[in-house]
């Protein structure tokens, strides 16, 4: 339960999508019908997890194995992935200083098989880059 609460609180930034990620397109630069392979970070209807962010956090916490992380302190990373037009996840990446934490974050999110509701732009489903900042205290 403690792990679930910690991860739930730390995934509070789940919907934070402030920075533009390289290789993405802003709302002003688009023509969705011509380029369906473009990855967007600004859309009219962002992608979301069925049953909401709390359900995503619960699934992530259930999959995350603390024993696989070598740490005695606070670890941070940023998980990014692309939500495809069919709701599947691709291009899962993580940036952080602790490799075991990074690997476990990728493993935990990769095990979630529930498809996302894809982002929409001009009424079309589009590929969407999503970022999740993670901070966990392993003390």
Helix pair angle (53-63, 99-110), 10° resolution: 120
List the structure tokens of 118: 């894809």
How many domains would you assign to the chain? 1
**Residue 111: DSSP 8-state:** T
Predicted pLDDT of residue 6? 52
Which residues constitute the domain of residue 119?
Answer: 2-137
Give pTM, 2 decimals.
0.75
Is the pLDDT confidence value at 20 over 50?
no
Question: Would you list the DSSP string of 7-20?
Answer: HHHHGGGGG---SP
Predicted pLDDT of residue 36? 76
Is the pLDDT confidence value at 4 over 90?
no
């Amino acid at each position: 339960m403690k792990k679930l609460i910690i991860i739930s609180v730390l995934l509070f930034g789940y919907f934070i999508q402030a920075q533009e990620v390289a290789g993405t397109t802003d709302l002003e630069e688009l023509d969705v019908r011509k380029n369906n392979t473009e990855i967007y970070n600004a859309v009219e209807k962002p992608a979301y997890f069925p049953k909401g962010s709390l359900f995503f956090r619960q699934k992530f916490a259930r999959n995350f194995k603390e024993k696989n992380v070598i740490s005695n302190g606070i670890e941070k990373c940023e998980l990014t992935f692309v939500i495809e037009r069919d709701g599947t996840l691709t291009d899962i990446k993580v940036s952080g200083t602790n490799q075991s934490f990074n690997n476990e974050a990728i493993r935990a999110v990769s095990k979630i098989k529930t498809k996302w509701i894809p982002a929409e732009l001009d009424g079309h489903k589009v590929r969407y880059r999503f970022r999740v900042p993670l901070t966990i205290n392993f003390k």
